[in-house]
Amino acid sequence: MANILSDTDQLKKLLSKAEDTGKIAWQIGQTASQIYENGTFKDFPKKNYTDFGEFTNGEFNKTEQTISIYIKIFKSFSFEDIGDLLFTHLKELTRIPDKTIRKSAVKVFNKLQRQYLENGDKNEKERMFSAESIKATIGLINRTNNPTEDEIGDIAWEVTKIKERKTGIKGADKVGEVLKNTKFDKLERWLAFEPIDEQGTVALFCLLLPLLEEVPFTFKLDGHYRNGTFSQFEFVRSKFPDACIHFNTEIGSYKTVNYKVLVEFEFYSSSYIEHLMSYEKCHLIICWVNNIDRNRYTEDIFPPIIELSEVIKTGQIIVK
């Protein structure tokens, strides 16, 4: 009886500051796990709790599902690995079933959190990561086989750029620079300014498509290099991938084959890392600015890339 009373009192104190650090969340999970597995909640005096959910609701005004998150954190991480991570970070990381990938993710998040604490207000409990950056971190680790310490640093660098890019776009002017000196005269009559976001990039390509019917290019499609031209959209949508575009290529002297190329539009190509967790196929990235450095990774984890800012300047499609 004494144990359940002291353990309950300890949990109440920890839960009052549960959002402060990941280490406190881990300690909550440790104590809650002991109470649950040993069944000591049934010994609570004068309450007659018959299940763990009754106990958590009665003593902490918390559902069993909420407390189970803390228990999962306790069982998923060692206390030493948590470092400066927050409860919100650990909660997301517990969704990763693979222990090796989860361990790498902890290293990335710790590196990012240390950078934040060094550069930001240490008294401010601002969450370092958006949903997009969390997904991007997990996606990069998934695509990088057992990342080295250097690659962990590269992944952290990529994730910090997500926040910088979104901040830059949010604070941008309503229109971009004047669109001029392109290789497509008609384009300047149709579109006055350069894109500043993904939607503008899509609009630009839609206007470019009829002008690109006679511009051949080569890129790797399903393991083979194909040479051909764009012909028409099959669909454009908000769901990943953004579009399906027909790509015509000749085989031999007489036969023309039409391939359906799945395309994801991005303003910055590196924003594609937010989609690396997707199981959907994507053959090609079409972006306004290509800022992916493939040399940063031991494996080629990105699809081929077309940079529209270069296309309109040169009149050619060079796939990178």
Confidence of residue 122 (pLDDT cuts 50, 70, 90): very low
Sequence-separated (6 or more) residues with CB below 8 Å from residue 259: 221, 226, 228, 246, 247, 248, 249
Residue 22 and residue 87: Cα distance in Å, rounded?
Answer: 4
For residues 131 and 19, the model is more confident at 19
The pLDDT of residue 140 is above 60: yes
Whether omega before 241 lies within 30 degrees of 0, making that bond cis, reads yes
The pLDDT of residue 127 is above 60: no
What integer pLDDT is reported at residue 166 of this predicted model? Answer: 55
Residue 251 and residue 228: Cα distance in Å, rounded?
Answer: 10
For residues 315 and 92, the model is more confident at 315
What integer pLDDT is reported at residue 237 of this predicted model? Answer: 94
The pLDDT of residue 299 is above 80: no
Q: What is the arithmetic mean of pLDDT over 220-245?
A: 92
Phi, psi of 206 (to 5 degrees): -60, -40
Residue 292 and residue 306: Cα distance in Å, rounded?
Answer: 12
Percent of the chain at pLDDT > 90 equals 46
